Amino acid sequence: DATAHEHGTADAGGEEEELVSRDVQSTAGLATGVLVYGVAVGGIAALAFCFALGRVGRFGPRATAALVAGAAFVTVYFVPFLKYPANPPAVGNPDTIGKRTALFFLMIALSVLIGVAAVILGKRLAPRLGTWNATVAAGLGYAVVMAVLAFVLPPNDDAIPDGFPAALLWDFRLASIGLQVVLWTGFALLFGTLADRALAPAAPAAERAPVAAPAV
């Protein structure tokens, strides 16, 4: 729908040549992008899982994978999304795409760094405040710092063009969030199950040996 709206406005004002057509972007390009992104962030999340296992509490592999997935969704996507939300085609000036991309990745980097600092702070406060209170305090600290950074960082200069359907913009951003929810839920469930199997303690040799039949 956003592509059709873009073509309609381009026909009115002269359509520019596209290096990669919208049809390719929405089919093979989208599939390739999701695959590459999923493999990349999945590998990074697997490294984070290996570091977090046994260091953030007495959680097993499945629970640790769920915690890593939830933290990654919040810090890598959702919080930066609140400042710089995703926009569909026909929204955004192509001349400012470099600036917008830099700001978005800067927000991601700051969110991850502050998130790691919040985890370290929570671990240090846990002996004095207790695990629950330390977690709440660290979470509130992360939220306050990120709110200040979001206020300080410059906004996107691209305004929503006149006549662009608000419902379409809302649906596109919901779809963007939904894609990330599916991605990180899949990581938590599938990776957590596979990691739990791989890290399960091996049965003792005495238990693995077959039981001999009694002599008659």
pLDDT at 55: 79
Rounded to 5 degrees, what angle do the CA atoms 8, 9, 13 make? 120
Which residues, 6+ apart, have CB-to-CB distance to 180 below 8 Å? 73, 77, 78
Which residues, 6+ apart, have CB-to-CB distance to 94 below 8 Å? none
Q: Which residue is associated with the tokens 């470099």?
A: 98
3-state secondary structure of 80: helix
- DSSP character at residue 18: P
Q: Give CA–CA dist 198/133, Å, rounded.
A: 33
Domain ranges of the chain: 33-91+164-197, 96-157
The secondary structure element, H or E, covering residue 146 is: helix 131-152
Over residues 146-184, the pLDDT tens digits come to 999 999 998 876 667 777 788 888 888 899 999 999 999
The proportion of the chain whose per-residue pLDDT surpasses 90, expressed as a percent, equals 34
Q: Which has the minimum average pLDDT: 96-100, 185-189, 200-204?
A: 200-204
Q: Greater confidence, 203 or 122?
A: 122
> What pTM, to 2 d.p., does this model score?
0.76
As a whole number, mean pLDDT of residues 28-54 equals 88
Average pLDDT of the residues of the chain? 82
pLDDT at 211: 56
